[in-house]
Amino acid sequence: MKRKVRPLTLFYVLIAYVLFQLMWWGQLLIQAQPNKTSMVIGEFSVFVIILFWGAFSLKRLIQEEIALNRRQKNFLLSVTHELKSPLASIKLYLQTILKRDLDKEKQQGFIRNSLLDIERLDDLVENMLMATKIENNSYSYPKENFDLSEAVQQVVERHQNILQKRIVKSDITPDILIRGDRFTLLLVVSNLLENAVKYSAEGTEINIELFKKNNRVILKVNDQGVGIPDEEKPKIFDKFYRIGQEDTRKTKGTGLGLFIVKQVLDNHGATIKVRNNQPVGSEFEVTF
């Protein structure tokens, strides 16, 4: 089996070759013109500094590209799984309804479960479409005045039906009006809530708060999950980035949710902070 040469290995070999050639030609020049030794050493030193600075920058870019490529591959695997799971569930429910003589109550239960799976698919497709539009700068973010309190409450109620094994508690101050793109801001709330669910165990509590403080609108979502290590907090809003090692991670996801959250909030002039929840878990705070 033919082995591939790693990009960084080739990069290191190239740098070593350039340095060797510089030293070789520098030595030959000094031997030919000993009176220019100081000049050659000075020029060599400047060139080496520039070379190492450029090499370091190039190495970082190569590493980022390798990491992005790895995340993209993992994204494709995740999307395949995220699509296949609800589709298989819907297929099974419909086949059961067709093949068995079920009473009306069981049929309605299967149909409700199928609709919940369809909503999961709809959310996944919506995130992928929005991420593409954001990347292409093709979304215009149409702004309007709307009741954020009512909109957040709708998102919470919708997720209460989907997330039956988590306890979602809300404390929403009524009649908070805001100017922004209602569609994408609802996507922000939905993604923050779903993110809290992914990293929380069944039966744990998730809290969402919306209130005003010092003429600012603040949205908080906190969970009692596994938390986020400090070294990973700056990376979680990168596209395709997901917490943990790919070979040991058990949580579902595509790595698009928090990327969309950050991009939408940046467009609205809002900020988002992530901190540790007490005693366990994470807390996301959005300030408009």
Q: What is the residue-level pLDDT of the chain in tens, covering all 288 positions?
A: 455 556 667 777 777 777 787 778 777 777 777 777 777 777 777 877 877 787 777 777 877 777 777 766 766 666 676 778 788 888 888 888 888 887 888 888 888 888 878 887 887 888 888 888 888 888 889 999 999 999 999 888 877 766 556 678 888 999 999 999 999 999 999 899 888 888 777 778 888 999 999 889 999 999 888 888 888 888 888 877 776 554 444 556 667 888 899 999 999 999 999 988 878 888 999 999
Neighbours of 113 (CB within 10 A): 14
Of residues 220, 223, 218, 253, the one with CA closest to residue 236: 253
Tokens of 219: 């949205």
The helix (run of H) or strand (run of E) holding residue 159 is helix 148-162
Please give the C-alpha separations between residue 186 and each of 64, 123, 152, 165, 191, in angstroms, as whole numbers. 31, 12, 7, 22, 9
The predicted structure's pLDDT at residue 93:
86
The predicted structure's pLDDT at residue 32:
77
3-state SS, residue 92: helix
Burial of 21 (0-12, 13-18, 19+ CB in 10 A): exposed
The predicted structure's pLDDT at residue 247:
44
Report whether 199 contacts 214 (CB < 8 A). Answer: no
The predicted structure's pLDDT at residue 178:
93
Q: What residues does CATH 1.10.287.130 cover in the chain?
A: 1-139
pTM, rounded to two decimals: 0.68
The predicted structure's pLDDT at residue 75:
64
Report whether 189 contacts 123 (CB < 8 A). Answer: no
Q: How far apart are alpha carbons 217 and 176 in whole angstroms? A: 8
Q: What residues does CATH 3.30.565.10 cover in the chain?
A: 144-287
Please give the C-alpha separations between residue 138 and each of 20, 129, 164, in angstroms, as whole numbers. 49, 11, 36
For domain 144-287, the CATH superfamily is Histidine kinase-like ATPase, C-terminal domain (3.30.565.10)
Q: What class, spelled out in words, does domain 1-139 have in CATH? A: mainly alpha
Q: Helices (DSSP H) in 100-147: which residue ranges?
A: 104-135
The predicted structure's pLDDT at residue 234:
82
DSSP E strands in the chain: the ranges are 144-147, 167-172, 177-180, 205-213, 216-222, 271-276, 282-287
Neighbours of 191 (CB within 10 A): 24
The predicted structure's pLDDT at residue 164:
55
